[in-house]
Amino acid sequence: MSAIGSLVFCTDCGNLLDSSTGNKNTILVCDCCGAENKDTASKTITTSTKAASFPSLLRQKRSDVQTVERSDMQNEATIAETCPVCGRQEVRYSAVQLRSADEGSTIFYTCDCGHKWNTNN
């Protein structure tokens, strides 16, 4: 029998055996070939590492919070929307994902008269 992590496999046929008990005296019987296998999962050593153990330039640049500059969002287009101040029929807009990914985007409108407003899509 061989063990990978907490998974124990039959040495004869390679079938996944029932859950290990962690007791080295337990005998696990293979459902596929009927072979009896000693429970060696108790000999399994689990290790863990920290991200600092494997430094990389990419990991150092990564951040939990990403900042987007307004100047980077030059994606305005025009739309047939009426300005509530001057009544102009065509205004510029841009869509930005400000909330979580499963929620709609926020639409920012800008009119030539200088009025700005937004709506949550």
Which residue ranges form the domains of the chain, and what is each CATH number? 2-43 (no CATH), 73-120 (2.20.25.10)
Provide the pLDDT confidence category of residue 41 given band limits of 50, 70 and 90. low
Tell me which residue has tokens 């987007």: 68
Average pLDDT, stretch 67-92? 84
Provide the pLDDT confidence category of residue 91 given band limits of 50, 70 and 90. very high
Mean pLDDT score of the chain, rounded to an integer?
80
- Alpha-helical segments (H) within the chain: 57-61
Angle, alpha carbons 67-73-76 (nearest 5°): 155
32 labelled as ligand-binding?
A: no
pLDDT the model gives residue 73: 60
- Return the DSSP state at 116: E
% of the chain beyond a pLDDT of 70: 77
pLDDT the model gives residue 1: 44
Per-residue tokens: 20 = 């290990």
Provide the pLDDT confidence category of residue 88 given band limits of 50, 70 and 90. very high
Would you call 9 helix, strand, or coil by DSSP? strand
Average pLDDT, stretch 53-65? 73
Angle, alpha carbons 51-55-60 (nearest 5°): 90
64 vs 29: which has the higher pLDDT:
29
Average pLDDT, stretch 43-64? 72
pLDDT the model gives residue 111: 94
pLDDT the model gives residue 37: 79
113 labelled as ligand-binding?
A: yes
